[in-house]
Amino acid sequence: MKEKLYTIELTDAVKSGDECCFCWLERKMEQENLEFVLGSSYMESDVRDQTSLHGFCRHHTKMMYDYGNTLGNAWILKSRMEKVRTDLAERLGASEGIASGASVSSAGSKKGLAGKFKSLFSGTGRQVGSFSGVRSGKDSENSGCYICERMDEIYVRMLDTFAWMLEHDPEFGETLLKSKGFCLRHFEEAREVCERTLKPELWGEWEAKLNRLMLDNLDRVQEDVNWLIEKYDYRNKDADWRESRDAVPRAMQKLVGTHPADPVFRDRR
């Protein structure tokens, strides 16, 4: 593998105690990228050219607002809006139906118009991987995003590093098996890359181990959720909470790969 290996980051992630090592990495990367975008890079013309071109998805737009650098956001928006306004004017002008005021009532014209808007909102229109795909979910009109694309690039290399470490670093494998495993989303993606890149005999070994890790940890979180419900029964009011106090956000994370209990991420400078 020629690209950078994220061995240190992955080792930290499996030791983090998080319900999913990749969710933990994703959060770290996301915060670092937000700090990059709204740090001072928005004054660098090459970065601003890129943010103007791609824009940001709905999720990251909200994060940028919450982060709180008003001047930085204003600079980024200034350039992005200039680009969007130019594109929109061009596209609407190029549409004969709109320019001439002709009817757009036929199904074909409607579809054509919808297509124009869609391509405008989706930035470059590139279908990106896990982060933006999952982040934006059904909001595919928002799939073009500068932060999602930066994260996608790193994430692909992190997945490759993960498979590489299972093959080359026995200690990493042992730590992983003692960790809380993955959310469903990252489990599928980690499995896929391991199946594709590991030698068949090694994949045979790891497939069973990864499956066990996922299933055992889902069982554990299920028990926590079940007990949380039991705890609300008055007969259990004096019983121990066990591990159930934060079972709701942890179960949400296991299912969809998110940290719903996280505080808003703000500019810490």
What is the pattern of x (binds Zn ion, CB under 5 A) and - over residues 159-198?
Answer: ------------------------x--x------------
Cβ-based nearer residue to Zn ion, 22 or 164? 22
Single-letter code of the amino acid located at 222: Q
Q: Please, which of residues 20-59 interact with Zn ion by CB under 5 A?
A: 20, 22-23, 57
Separation of alpha carbons 224 and 251, rounded Å: 9
Judged by CB under 5 A, the number of residues near Zn ion is 11
Q: Which residue has the tokens 């980051």?
A: 9
Which residues are within 8 A (CB) of 260 and not within 5 positions of it... i.e. 6 or more apart? Answer: 248, 249, 252, 253
Single-letter code of the amino acid located at 19: E
Residue of the chain from 145, 154, 158, 221 that contacts Zn ion (CB under 5 A): 145
The one segment of 19-27, 89-97, 114-122, 214-222 that binds Zn ion by CB under 5 A: 19-27
Cβ-based nearer residue to Zn ion, 58 or 116? 58
In whole angstroms, how close is the CB of 144 to Zn ion at the nearest point?
Answer: 9
In whole angstroms, how close is the CB of 22 to Zn ion at the nearest point?
Answer: 4
Closest CA to 25 of 178, 128, 131: 131
If binding is defined by CB under 5 A, does position 148 make contact with Zn ion?
Answer: yes
Residue of the chain from 34, 120, 147, 247 that contacts Zn ion (CB under 5 A): 147
CA torsion, points 146, 150, 153, 155, in degrees to nearest 10?
-120
In whole angstroms, how close is the CB of 45 to Zn ion at the nearest point?
Answer: 22
**Residue 212: Cβ within 10 Å count:** 12
Residue of the chain from 60, 80, 150, 191 that contacts Zn ion (CB under 5 A): 60
H/E stretch holding 221: helix 200-231
Cβ-based nearer residue to Zn ion, 69 or 130? 130
CA atoms 86, 89, 92, 94: torsion sign: negative
Tell me how far CA of residue 127 lies from CA of 7, 142, 196, 226, in angstroms: 28, 11, 21, 39
Cβ-based nearer residue to Zn ion, 23 or 29? 23
Which residues of the shown chain bind Zn ion in the complex (CB under 5 A)?
20, 22-23, 57, 60, 145, 147-148, 183, 186, 257
